[in-house]
């Protein structure tokens, strides 16, 4: 399988997100690696540079390092606990990017735990790999007697804490870093291109990679005694490697004291997780997608195009034109699509039932004309249901925020993966967790439920999910498989009709009384009161990924 | 061979077949495990440690979830409780959930002592090992992954059948331990069975025993494994070829691709993983080596003592004063060293005659004319010592057999002049009985810290090149019995102390002992002040403040409160006259 890995750090999440969308649109799996250092370590290192600038005396510095180690330092009146090297908004962006990933690629299990905990998400699949690229560096000489701080990717100021941890040794300290010098305290510093001569003299190498075990492994392979941050997972490949807690000066020192007395470590045979080919289902029972459209031919073409690109081949589209301008020509271009035209405008809910009556597939789903599917959508959902004869299943969707440009065209100003949850039979009464196109269900199930409830003219999909959940389990397929559009130029159905949400929701409550469940009922009443007569804040919030200026419509 | 302490450890040991010496212990029995560990180390054996400490939220769930859920009457109330637990928002008796969950105080002190005694960790997953190593701030030198299939899980008797229900597997555990998981799946339409032993089960969930489980597992649409501390159960359940949801903390995802992981304390996450498992492909084994293990290794000592070409001579100085009962035990432990070239130098600090004991052990005896205290006795010993390296053992302490070889190896490898290892502190009640243990000082020498306070338990932990004493002079007798501290500091100011991060000796503490607290006498305040005068650093005002505060603290508390926590054994251990620790 042709693998293309998307590697992201907190600053590059937005553009990576776009790459991921493009990858998904091609039907290829998104393999994502997230470079995110342990936050406590990176904050400690960032603050340490500050310590040297602000405090002239050794004792003051030592005290500050101690306070940093205990996470109690106060800088300019601000306690450390309130600081972060990562912009909190970047976490949002990264989380959304991470959710786009079909496979999260990590260099160690430690990294997998750290990333999933920090971002608070569950990856669809995790794969552990570390590259085997050897370092072109010498082995240590038998009379090697220096401590070498190995930080080829870092700049001098970031290394203050490390340098202070290593300063009191009688063995001379040499730093290899990307740039910068050490004047106070004065320490010999060299650039990575001169590393060869220096490493031959290393009695011990202090590795400064907070997240990447690669260098620690390769230096060990060369026969060096390595002390490595406990955060980078090198111990999973080198049992018995000496380690240090990167935020603690004393621990850095102790790591060297221990390593000096130990024999060089050996590499363990590490298992690399094989990448499982996604093995997507290409055919099976006929699946019908109901596409409701009304005077948006340009979007319709895009929606149908996304059905045409499905990996799953046994698909029909039922296009319901709700008495809008003719779309015959467009529909004719897609051989799997059939057109049903309403003689007069019926509205969205009755149109959905029109589509359902015309559908012939075993499975049926919705795709509104302004939304689109990624090629794996039907394949993943049908596969899950076929395995156990399931009634319904759901995936995730990205919300795409569009605005009208002065040239009467649409532009994307942001994205968010907000509609990404499983369906909880109780929670569904108070929260609509998914986009309309994210569910696929058996047609017999939908017909048995009586189709869409026409007395609900808004959020009718949600009302259906409630009935669905009351009778069936909805299987959960946690992959992003579609784009749901939100337009903020007053043409979006949902936004223009947002004021109607209150009454529609009241109708849903009326249809589903919960006398036995006072807690949930109270929450619903509260929601109705809040929304009565007030314009609703869109349920999908604001974009986590925002572009300035907006980009052309994909 | 595995020796297991505590119920959960025994349960694990039942299905683990690991070669080598292994001690398995859970939180209920750390102290007994320490005693066993000390005995083994004193016999010269190393051991791997399989330690069971739950992740904080799991500990909380195990202890409190059942109690909290049992007070909730309706399903919605149970959901509410689960929601609060998932958010970490529960308060019990004014204590926050995070405080209730963490391992603290005595239990933590025991766990750390045990961790430091072990040579290798026998770990069930990288996740578990990483968690423990961070908890104690120390990576063990070597480790063995032992992954075993849980034997309580039945073998499939045939191929998978039509799937029409979900099975929650709790094995022989009570349903009360998995209340959150049960609450998460209470509302499913598909039938749910729970395999458990006793406990309360919601009306909508069917109960089954381990004996009834096999056909249920074989026809399951998904299995939810509730083991949150080891992947063995998931590995056994995977044989049924049925999609699997697993607790993330079990580490099963490291061995099985395609499982749906969840956090056991988060109801939402359990439900999501179960709905995900329904209809996903069955898991696949990632490692081919599942069930295979390697011998626990010791910390790379193989190249050291045993294949030494020219062993430097080590002189062990043992000062003694009127402790005829304990002395032979100390000397016996020197005799048992696996290091080939050892000289015993016994210094009688003008106490009752010990010539017979010296003769019995072949020790060089130095008789002092007048009692001069600890430092003076050490100085007399060093004068007479013939070895190139000097080590120290007080008459009431013992070395483990690898003490000297570990230190000499470290000195040779580093070409250092001074090294120290870690020591376990044994607390003496009567002169010949141990009443408790504590992880003593187990970190390297940090000069900043050493400028104020003694960084490890004293000279018992150290091995020093003889020529250092020629250069920097003898122990300062005016500072006895705190002369160790000044010597360690004096060396630290001129040489790098090399650290052997394993426990190689048992240091007996006979000072004033109360629960949680060990103190030296109040005289140490003055002794520290004297030591500071020898190394004044007048240009460092902040250091002066730290020192003043430290001494004031000794005065306030009536002694140096050693920075350790410890505990009493349920039964004191008699120290036999012969042999390091009896038996």
Write down the pLDDT at residue B515. 35
Interface test with A, best of B57, B446, B453 (most A CBs within 10 A): B446
Taking 50 as the threshold, does the pLDDT of residue B517 lie above it?
no
* Contact across the interface for B275 and A473, Cβ inside 8 Å: yes
Half-sphere exposure (Cβ direction) of B242: Cα atoms closer than 13 Å: 34
What percent of chain B has pLDDT above 70? Answer: 86
Q: Which residues of B touch A55 (CB under 8 A)?
A: none
Find the CB nearest A240 among B134, B142, B269.
B142
Chain A closest-CA separation from residue B459 CA (Å): 18
Write down the pLDDT at residue A499. 63
- In B, minimum Cα distance to A124 occurs at B260
CA distance A320 to A334: 14
Lowest mean pLDDT among A418-422, A461-465, B73-77, B564-568: B564-568
Using a CB–CB cutoff of 8 Å, tell me whether B582 touches chain A: no
Nearest CA to A361 among A377, A378, A340, A341? A378
Q: Which residues of B touch A168 (CB under 8 A)?
A: 447
Using a CB–CB cutoff of 8 Å, tell me whether B499 touches chain A: yes
Interface test with B, best of A165, A230, A260 (most B CBs within 10 A): A260
Write down the pLDDT at residue B268. 92
CA distance B280 to A477: 8
Q: Measured between alpha carbons, how far is residue B331 from residues A34, A185, B211, B324, B462 in Å?
A: 57, 48, 57, 11, 17
Rounded mean pLDDT of B324-341? 90
* Contact across the interface for A385 and B279, Cβ inside 8 Å: yes
Paired residues of A151 in beta bridges: A177
Q: Which residues of A touch B76 (CB under 8 A)?
A: 426, 517-520
Taking 60 as the threshold, does the pLDDT of residue B53 lie above it?
yes
Write down the pLDDT at residue B575. 58
User: Do strands B256-257 and B220-225 pair parallel, antiparallel, or not at all (unpaired)?
Assistant: unpaired
In the structure encoding, which two tokens stand for residue B41, read together? 């180390």
Tell me whether the omega of the peptide bond preceding residue A549 falls within 30 degrees of 0, making it cis: yes
- In A, minimum Cα distance to B133 occurs at A230
Nearest CA to B410 among A225, A238, A268? A225
Lowest mean pLDDT among A457-466, B136-145, B217-226, B292-301: B292-301
Q: Measured between alpha carbons, how far is residue A525 from residues A294, A430, A506, A514, A533 in Å?
A: 34, 10, 8, 11, 14
Q: Check: CB of residue A299 under 8 Å from CB of residue A370.
A: yes
Taking 50 as the threshold, does the pLDDT of residue B73 lie above it?
yes
Write down the pLDDT at residue A535. 46
Residues of chain A with pLDDT under 50: 1-2, 534-538
Paired residues of A316 in beta bridges: A288
Find the CB nearest B495 among A63, A170, A262.
A170
Using a CB–CB cutoff of 8 Å, tell me whether B219 touches chain A: no
Q: Check: CB of residue B214 under 8 Å from CB of residue B157.
A: yes
Q: What angle do CA B40, B45, B46 make, to 5 degrees?
A: 100
Write down the pLDDT at residue A276. 59
Helix (H, G, I), strand (E, B) or coil at A138: coil
Find the CB nearest A59 among B79, B253, B540.
B540
Taking 80 as the threshold, does the pLDDT of residue B443 lie above it?
no
Nearest CA to A169 among B168, B208, B492, B342? B492
Chain A closest-CA separation from residue B103 CA (Å): 19
In the structure encoding, which two tokens stand for residue A113, read together? 């735990």
Find the CB nearest A276 among B253, B257, B419.
B257
Taking 90 as the threshold, does the pLDDT of residue B571 lie above it?
no
B503 versus A88: which is more confidently predicted? B503
Taking 90 as the threshold, does the pLDDT of residue B229 lie above it?
no
B219 versus B16: which is more confidently predicted? B219
Write down the pLDDT at residue A536. 47
Q: Which residues of A touch B75 (CB under 8 A)?
A: 426
How large is the angle between the packed helices A58-69 and A249-261, nearest 10 degrees?
A: 90
Confidence class for position B106, pLDDT limits 50, 70, 90: confident
* DSSP letter (8 states) at residue A361: S
Q: Which of residues 189-218 of B touch A (CB under 8 A)?
A: 189-190
pLDDT tens digits, one per residue of B271-327: 999 999 998 888 887 643 433 334 444 444 444 444 455 689 999 999 998 888 889
Write down the pLDDT at residue B395. 87
Lowest mean pLDDT among A258-267, B36-45, B134-143: B134-143
Write down the pLDDT at residue B513. 44
CA distance A356 to A448: 12
Using a CB–CB cutoff of 8 Å, tell me whether B272 touches chain A: yes
B429 versus B524: which is more confidently predicted? B524
Using a CB–CB cutoff of 8 Å, tell me whether B415 touches chain A: yes
Taking 90 as the threshold, does the pLDDT of residue B107 lie above it?
no
- In B, minimum Cα distance to A142 occurs at B413
CA distance A170 to B417: 11
* Contact across the interface for B496 and A257, Cβ inside 8 Å: yes
Q: Measured between alpha carbons, how far is residue A465 from residues A250, A361, A367, A441, B186 in Å?
A: 57, 20, 15, 10, 19
Helix (H, G, I), strand (E, B) or coil at B56: helix
Rounded mean pLDDT of B210-233? 93
Chain A closest-CA separation from residue B411 CA (Å): 6
* Contact across the interface for B542 and A387, Cβ inside 8 Å: no
* Contact across the interface for B300 and A262, Cβ inside 8 Å: yes
Rounded mean pLDDT of B364-386? 93
Find the CB nearest A519 among B76, B303, B500.
B76
Choose from A305-309, A522-526, B118-122, B260-264 the range with maximum mean pLDDT: A305-309
* Contact across the interface for A520 and B76, Cβ inside 8 Å: yes
* Contact across the interface for B413 and A230, Cβ inside 8 Å: no
* Contact across the interface for B444 and A59, Cβ inside 8 Å: no
Rounded mean pLDDT of B240-247? 94
Residues B514, B519, B520, B525, CA torsion sign: negative
pLDDT tens digits, one per residue of B505-514: 988 776 544 4
CA distance A324 to A343: 9
In the structure encoding, which two tokens stand for residue A109, read together? 């299990």
Q: Is A135 exposed, middle or buried (0-12, 13-18, 19+ CB in 10 A)?
A: middle
Q: Check: CB of residue A513 under 8 Å from CB of residue A550.
A: no
Write down the pLDDT at residue B298. 42
Runs of H (alpha helix) within A191-248: 195-199, 214-221
CA distance B25 to B209: 27
């Amino acid at each position: 399988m042709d693998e293309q890995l998307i590697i992201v750090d907190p600053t590059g999440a937005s553009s990576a997100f776009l790459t991921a969308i493009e990858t998904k649109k091609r039907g290829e799996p998104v393999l994502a690696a997230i470079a995110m250092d342990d936050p406590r370590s990176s904050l400690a290192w960032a603050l340490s540079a500050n310590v040297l600038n602000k405090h002239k005396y050794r004792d003051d510095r030592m005290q500050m390092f101690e306070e940093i180690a205990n996470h109690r330092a106060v800088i300019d009146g601000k306690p450390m606990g309130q600081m972060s090297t990562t912009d909190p908004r970047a976490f949002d962006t990264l989380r959304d990017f991470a959710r786009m990933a079909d496979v999260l690629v990590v260099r160690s299990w430690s990294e997998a735990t750290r990333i999933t905990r920090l971002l608070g998400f569950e990856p669809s699949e995790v794969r552990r790999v570390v590259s085997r690229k050897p370092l072109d560096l010498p082995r240590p000489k038998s009379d090697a007697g220096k401590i070498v701080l190995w930080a080829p990717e870092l700049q001098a100021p970031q290394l203050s804490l490390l340098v202070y941890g290593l300063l009191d040794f009688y063995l001379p300290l040499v730093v290899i870093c990307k740039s910068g010098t050490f004047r106070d305290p004065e320490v010999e510093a060299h650039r990575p291109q001169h590393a060869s001569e220096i490493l031959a003299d290393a009695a011990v190498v202090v590795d400064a990679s907070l997240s990447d075990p690669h260098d620690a492994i390769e230096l060990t392979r060369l026969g060096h005694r390595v002390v490595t941050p406990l955060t980078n997972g090198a111990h999973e490949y080198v049992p018995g490697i000496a380690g240090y807690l990167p935020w603690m000066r004393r621990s850095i020192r102790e790591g060297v004291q221990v390593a000096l007395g130990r024999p060089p470590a050996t590499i363990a045979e590490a298992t690399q997780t094989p990448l499982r080919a996604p093995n997507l289902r290409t055919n099976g029972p006929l699946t019908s997608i109901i596409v409701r459209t009304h005077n948006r031919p340009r979007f319709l073409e895009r929606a149908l195009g996304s059905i045409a690109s499905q990996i799953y081949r046994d698909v029909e589209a039922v296009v319901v034109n709700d008495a809008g301008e003719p779309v015959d020509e467009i529909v004719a271009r897609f051989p799997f699509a059939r057109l049903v035209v309403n003689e007069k405008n019926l509205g969205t809910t009755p149109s959905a039932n029109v589509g359902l009556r015309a559908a012939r597939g075993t499975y049926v789903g919705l795709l509104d004309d302004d939304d689109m599917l990624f090629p794996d959508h039907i394949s993943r959902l049908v596969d899950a249901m076929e395995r156990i004869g399931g009634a319904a299943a759901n995936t995730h969707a990205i919300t795409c925020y569009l605005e009208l440009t002065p040239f009467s065209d649409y532009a994307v100003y942001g994205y968010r993966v907000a509609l990404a949850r499983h369906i909880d039979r109780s929670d569904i009464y108070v929260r609509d967790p998914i986009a309309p196109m994210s569910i696929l269900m058996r047609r017999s199930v939908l017909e048995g439920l009586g189709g869409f409830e026409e007395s609900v003219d808004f959020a009718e999909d949600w009302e259906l999910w409630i009935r669905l959940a009351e009778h069936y389990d909805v299987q959960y397929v946690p992959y992003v498989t579609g784009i749901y559009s939100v337009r903020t130029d007053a043409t979006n159905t949902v936004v223009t009709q947002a004021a109607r949400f209150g009454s529609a929701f009241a109708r849903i409550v009326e249809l589903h009384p919960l006398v036995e469940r006072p807690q949930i009922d109270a929450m619903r009443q509260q929601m109705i009161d809040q929304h009565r007569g007030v314009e609703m804040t869109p349920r999908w919030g604001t974009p986590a990924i925002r572009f300035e200026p907006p980009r052309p419509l994909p | 061979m595995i020796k297991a302490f505590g119920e959960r450890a025994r349960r694990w040991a039942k299905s683990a077949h690991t070669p080598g010496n292994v001690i398995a212990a859970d939180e209920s029995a750390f102290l007994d495990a320490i005693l066993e560990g000390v005995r083994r180390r004193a016999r010269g054996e190393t051991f791997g440690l399989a330690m069971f400490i739950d992740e904080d939220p799991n500990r909380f769930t195990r202890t409190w979830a059942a109690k909290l859920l049992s007070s909730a009457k309706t399903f919605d109330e149970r959901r509410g409780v689960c929601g609060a637990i998932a958010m970490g928002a529960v308060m019990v008796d004014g204590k926050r959930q995070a405080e209730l969950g963490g391992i603290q105080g005595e239990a933590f002190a025991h766990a750390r002592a045990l961790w430091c005694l072990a040579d290798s960790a026998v770990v069930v997953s990288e996740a578990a090992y990483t968690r423990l190593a961070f908890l104690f701030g120390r990576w063990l030198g070597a480790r063995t992954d032992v992954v075993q299939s849980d034997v309580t899980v039945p073998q499939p008797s045939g191929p998978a059948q039509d799937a029409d229900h979900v099975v929650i597997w709790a094995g022989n555990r009570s349903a009360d331990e998995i209340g959150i998981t049960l609450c998460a799946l209470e509302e499913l339409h598909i039938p749910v069975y729970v395999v458990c032993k006793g406990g309360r089960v919601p009306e909508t969930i069917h109960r089954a025993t381990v004996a009834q489980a096999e056909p249920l597992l074989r026809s399951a649409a998904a299995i939810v494994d509730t083991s949150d501390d080891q992947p063995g159960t998931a590995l056994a359940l995977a044989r049924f070829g049925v999609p699997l949801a697993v607790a993330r903390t079990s580490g099963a995802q490291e061995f099985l691709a395609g499982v749906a992981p969840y956090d056991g304390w988060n109801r939402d996450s359990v439900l999501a993983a179960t709905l995900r498992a329904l209809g996903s492909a069955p898991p696949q084994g990632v490692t081919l080596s599942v069930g295979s293990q390697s011998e626990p290794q010791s910390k790379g000592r193989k190249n050291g003592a045993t294949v030494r070409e020219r062993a430097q001579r080590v002189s062990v100085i043992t000062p003694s004063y009127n402790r005829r009962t304990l002395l032979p035990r100390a000397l016996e432990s020197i005799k048992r060293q696996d290091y080939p070239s050892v000289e015993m130098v016994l210094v009688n600090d003008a106490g009752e005659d010990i010539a017979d004991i010296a003769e019995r052990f072949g020790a060089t005896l130095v008789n002092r004319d007048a009692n001069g205290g600890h430092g003076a006795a050490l100085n007399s010993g060093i004068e007479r010592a013939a070895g190139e390296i000097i080590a120290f053992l007080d008459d009431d302490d013992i070395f483990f057999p690898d003490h000297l070889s570990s230190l000499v190896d470290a000195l040779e490898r580093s070409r250092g002049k001074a090294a120290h290892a870690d020591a376990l502190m044994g607390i003496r009640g009567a002169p010949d009985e141990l009443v408790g243990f504590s992880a003593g000082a187990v970190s390297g020498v940090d000069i900043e810290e050493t400028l104020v306070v003694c960084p490890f338990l004293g000279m018992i932990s150290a091995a020093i090149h003889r020529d250092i004493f020629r250069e920097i002079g003898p122990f300062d007798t005016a500072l006895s019995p705190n002369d160790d501290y000044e010597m360690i500091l004096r060396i630290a100011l001129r040489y790098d102390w090399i650290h052997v991060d394993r426990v190689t000796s048992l240091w007996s503490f006979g000072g004033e002992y109360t629960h949680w607290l060990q103190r030296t006498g109040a005289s140490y305040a003055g002794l520290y002040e004297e030591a500071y005068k020898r190394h004044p650093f007048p240009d460092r005002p902040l250091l002066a403040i730290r020192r003043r505060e430290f001494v004031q603290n000794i005065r306030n508390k009536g002694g140096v409160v050693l920075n350790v926590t410890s505990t009493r054994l349920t039964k004191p251990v008699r120290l036999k006259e012969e042999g390091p620790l009896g038996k």
